[in-house]
Chains A and B, each alone.
Chain A
């Protein structure tokens, strides 16, 4: 089962889902994942951690390890890679009863990818097109294309937000924000 009731800052784990998990706990209901063959989520997670540990260990080979009395720049990263690998192994070994990979819910993946790609475009365009043009384009994509809102509202919100926040941060609070070659 995935983590229950664990939270963090900035919104924590999905709040709505977390809430229903809390409710499930309060009513003592437990949902056991259906039995199925194949890899389990924690086994895959453990493998990912081991792969990361091996990659860091391999990358670390160029840094001197030094001696115990005088540890070099590669010393602590190597310890961490070994530690991460060990934790990955533990997660994998203990993951036999975790949720089957096949039943994991990835419904949001396409929307998540679209959001990340759009934000990637914004990162690429920020210093080339300037803050105002980039943000306007980003919001038009989100509200107009992804959310399919009325064009007039899309333009109002996108332009209003981009120019309003520019005025607030760049003009009033003097936070330097990029400007396009055309001065916008």
Chain B
């Protein structure tokens, strides 16, 4: 414990440097704006900002990008509550009761509970990151190729389970992403695969063009002809204070949402989105008056907002401790660290303590900044939405092109982004979830290498995955998830996922 405190002090000595503080603030500010704009979201925001971090110190780069991530988590809630317009997907659940509260003249308390819930959840999430990541990292030192293979397989199966909906569709998308990851030079044999004689493809396909194309461009293709609704009156500072009853009702929801969000955040997938759905569903089931949900229940705002912020912190645990991203956002952040020549993984925390603990401390600082600045600045942020969407989406597209091009100064990346935008548009039309594609792409090289190394270790015997206890447990868990997800098909009962709104197979 004392060691943790000492390390945290080291982290604060880094995070409280004026330059780091400034970048944390800039990150939170950009993140809040990005979270508010429909069609941008944290992933596109981080991808666009990535080239600008190349010249920065690694800790500053990570602090800036992390600020964008959790700033976006908060920013998405403002438009959800005031305009029934979720700036990013994790805020969809906040719309339901948040906007209903606005209609009843309680927008102020909804926004305040949102900010406070986000702060509490973010802080608890950082505490969890601080305590769990070093433990997990020291445990991960026992991992060999079979364990990494099992971990990655388990991650993809859990993602398919948690995503809800059609498991074959989700797994197919993971397979598609893994296939994209096969493009480029094979690390073990030196063969260049599926490159179509394009020199740039020998390096493989980067996560940034794929992610920006799948999520940013396809979103704009779907929504470019839409118009935004009228802006509401933004509440004054005095109107923000929740009543005593609202405090009482939301405190439990914030606590539960934080825990749920954190636990789901560690699991691969679009954790912050899933967590907000699950937290809302759990709150509604636990409530003695579930009929209030959908009619402006403050718990319906507090729980999903706390959950998505806590999940954002939880997602950093496998990223920092194992070097394994659990979502497209953490994959881009991992790329940002690796660009600086730092290899994330179990040894990062011991070899670069100032980076890990500085990052942890900066998250505390970032949470405080979000709480202090965002509530008074709500009016300013909302005024950004006065920009008509017909002006906004062309600029977002131009930013996407700029961001993708500048990652490696390659027009090929822009072409890949556009192709992925078109593919994403069609896949969305057919009801596919796109997150597994991005995750599969990132995990593909790790999965292939560890699988082939494992087989080489065992002279081609697949039993190696079941003979080693850690990999056997992880594969067992993955298979268990697969079987549990098949249960509703056999028993024709709705499982918990459908009850909280994650399943479409009702």
Is A bound to B? yes
A contacts, CB < 8 Å to B: 1-19, 22-23, 25-27, 30, 41-42, 44-45, 48-49, 52, 56, 59, 63-64, 67-77, 80-81, 83-84, 87-88, 90-91, 94, 98, 104-108, 111-112, 115-116, 119-120, 122-124, 126-127, 131, 135, 138-139, 142-143, 147, 149, 157, 161-162, 165, 169, 173-177
Asked if A108 and B52 make an inter-chain contact with CB atoms under 8 angstroms apart, the answer reads no
Q: Quick one: given A23-B96, A122-B401, are A75 and B452 in contact (CB under 8 Å)? A: yes
Q: In the assembled complex, which residues on chain B have CB atoms less than 8 Å from the CB atom of A116?
A: 221, 418, 421-422
Q: Quick one: given A4-B165, A11-B38, A123-B414, are A68 and B405 in contact (CB under 8 Å)? A: no
Question: Considering residues A18, A73, A90, which has the most beta carbons from chain B within 10 angstroms of its beta carbon?
Answer: A73
Q: In the assembled complex, which residues on chain A have CB atoms less than 8 Å from the CB atom of B273?
A: 7-9, 12
Asked if B55 and A108 make an inter-chain contact with CB atoms under 8 angstroms apart, the answer reads no
Docked Cα-Cα span, A120 to B124, in Å, equals: 45
Q: Could you mark each residue 451-467 of chain B with 1 if its beta carbon is under 8 Å from any beta carbon of chain A, else 0?
A: 11001100111000000
28 A-B residue pairs with Cβ-Cβ distance under 8 Å, sorted by A, are: A3-B169, A3-B433, A7-B274, A8-B435, A9-B41, A10-B40, A10-B42, A10-B44, A10-B88, A19-B84, A19-B86, A22-B96, A26-B96, A52-B176, A63-B193, A73-B186, A76-B447, A94-B168, A108-B221, A108-B225, A116-B421, A116-B422, A122-B398, A123-B415, A123-B418, A135-B398, A142-B393, A165-B398
Nearest neighbor of B497 in chain A, beta-carbon distance:
A5
B contacts, CB < 8 Å to A: 38-44, 47, 51-52, 54-55, 84-90, 92-93, 95-96, 163-166, 168-169, 171-172, 175-176, 178-179, 182, 186, 188-189, 191, 193-194, 211-212, 214-217, 219-226, 270, 273-274, 277, 293-294, 327-329, 390-391, 393-395, 397-399, 401-402, 405-406, 409, 411, 414-415, 418, 421-422, 425, 428-435, 438, 447-448, 451-452, 455-456, 459-461, 501-504, 506
Asked if A108 and B224 make an inter-chain contact with CB atoms under 8 angstroms apart, the answer reads yes
Docked Cα-Cα span, A42 to B405, in Å, equals: 35
Asked if A173 and B398 make an inter-chain contact with CB atoms under 8 angstroms apart, the answer reads no
Give the total number of A-B pairs whose CB atoms are below 8 A apart: 309
Q: In the assembled complex, which residues on chain B have CB atoms less than 8 Å from the CB atom of A63?
A: 191, 193
Q: In the assembled complex, which residues on chain A have CB atoms less than 8 Å from the CB atom of B461?
A: 68
Question: Considering residues A2, A6, A27, A88, which has the most beta carbons from chain B within 10 angstroms of its beta carbon?
Answer: A6
Asked if A175 and B52 make an inter-chain contact with CB atoms under 8 angstroms apart, the answer reads yes
Q: In the assembled complex, which residues on chain B have CB atoms less than 8 Å from the CB atom of A88?
A: 172
Q: In the assembled complex, which residues on chain A have CB atoms less than 8 Å from the CB atom of B194?
A: 56, 59, 77
Docked Cα-Cα span, A173 to B490, in Å, equals: 58
Docked Cα-Cα span, A5 to B165, in Å, equals: 9
Nearest neighbor of B196 in chain A, beta-carbon distance:
A59
State the Cβ distance, B69 to closest chain A Cβ, in Å: 9
Asked if A11 and B219 make an inter-chain contact with CB atoms under 8 angstroms apart, the answer reads yes
Asked if B456 and A69 make an inter-chain contact with CB atoms under 8 angstroms apart, the answer reads yes
Nearest neighbor of B47 in chain A, beta-carbon distance:
A10
State the Cβ distance, B168 to closest chain A Cβ, in Å: 4
Docked Cα-Cα span, A6 to B414, in Å, equals: 27
Asked if A87 and B168 make an inter-chain contact with CB atoms under 8 angstroms apart, the answer reads yes
Docked Cα-Cα span, A115 to B44, in Å, equals: 18
Asked if A115 and B220 make an inter-chain contact with CB atoms under 8 angstroms apart, the answer reads yes
Docked Cα-Cα span, A73 to B399, in Å, equals: 37
Docked Cα-Cα span, A169 to B191, in Å, equals: 37
Q: Quick one: given A2-B431, A5-B92, A119-B397, are A71 and B226 in contact (CB under 8 Å)? A: no
Q: In the assembled complex, which residues on chain B have CB atoms less than 8 Å from the CB atom of A98?
A: 431
Asked if B168 and A91 make an inter-chain contact with CB atoms under 8 angstroms apart, the answer reads yes
State the Cβ distance, A19 to closest chain B Cβ, in Å: 5
Given contacts A71-B451, A131-B402, 10 further A-B contacts (CB under 8 A): A6-B433, A7-B273, A26-B294, A77-B194, A87-B172, A87-B175, A88-B172, A127-B411, A157-B391, A176-B406
Nearest neighbor of A70 in chain B, beta-carbon distance:
B456
Q: In the assembled complex, which residues on chain B have CB atoms less than 8 Å from the CB atom of A14?
A: 219, 222-223, 428
Asked if A119 and B401 make an inter-chain contact with CB atoms under 8 angstroms apart, the answer reads yes
Q: In the assembled complex, which residues on chain A have CB atoms less than 8 Å from the CB atom of B216?
A: 10-11
Q: Quick one: given A3-B433, A6-B165, are A177 and B406 in contact (CB under 8 Å)? A: yes
From the candidates B166, B188, B224, B329, name the one contacting A91 in the complex (CB within 8 A): B166
Nearest neighbor of B221 in chain A, beta-carbon distance:
A112
Docked Cα-Cα span, A59 to B192, in Å, equals: 12
Asked if A5 and B215 make an inter-chain contact with CB atoms under 8 angstroms apart, the answer reads no
State the Cβ distance, A171 to closest chain B Cβ, in Å: 12
Q: Quick one: given A108-B221, A175-B52, are A8 and B394 in contact (CB under 8 Å)? A: no
Asked if B405 and A80 make an inter-chain contact with CB atoms under 8 angstroms apart, the answer reads no
Asked if A41 and B431 make an inter-chain contact with CB atoms under 8 angstroms apart, the answer reads yes
Q: In the assembled complex, which residues on chain B have CB atoms less than 8 Å from the CB atom of A81?
A: 179
Asked if B89 and A18 make an inter-chain contact with CB atoms under 8 angstroms apart, the answer reads yes
Docked Cα-Cα span, A169 to B52, in Å, equals: 7
Question: Considering residues B43, B87, B428, which has the most beta carbons from chain A within 10 angstroms of its beta carbon?
Answer: B428
From the candidates A10, A22, A27, A75, name the one contacting B92 in the complex (CB within 8 A): A22
Asked if B425 and A26 make an inter-chain contact with CB atoms under 8 angstroms apart, the answer reads no
Asked if A18 and B92 make an inter-chain contact with CB atoms under 8 angstroms apart, the answer reads yes
Docked Cα-Cα span, A68 to B462, in Å, equals: 9
Asked if B179 and A80 make an inter-chain contact with CB atoms under 8 angstroms apart, the answer reads yes
Q: Quick one: given A6-B163, A9-B270, A169-B52, are A71 and B435 in contact (CB under 8 Å)? A: no
State the Cβ distance, A4 to closest chain B Cβ, in Å: 4
State the Cβ distance, A76 to closest chain B Cβ, in Å: 5
Nearest neighbor of A72 in chain B, beta-carbon distance:
B189
Nearest neighbor of A140 in chain B, beta-carbon distance:
B394
Nearest neighbor of A177 in chain B, beta-carbon distance:
B406
Q: In the assembled complex, which residues on chain A have CB atoms less than 8 Å from the CB atom of B40?
A: 10-11
Asked if B41 and A5 make an inter-chain contact with CB atoms under 8 angstroms apart, the answer reads no
State the Cβ distance, A135 to closest chain B Cβ, in Å: 5
Asked if A161 and B44 make an inter-chain contact with CB atoms under 8 angstroms apart, the answer reads no
Asked if A8 and B270 make an inter-chain contact with CB atoms under 8 angstroms apart, the answer reads yes
Docked Cα-Cα span, A161 to B225, in Å, equals: 21
Asked if A73 and B431 make an inter-chain contact with CB atoms under 8 angstroms apart, the answer reads no
Asked if A67 and B398 make an inter-chain contact with CB atoms under 8 angstroms apart, the answer reads no
Q: Quick one: given A14-B428, A68-B460, A91-B168, are A8 and B220 in contact (CB under 8 Å)? A: no
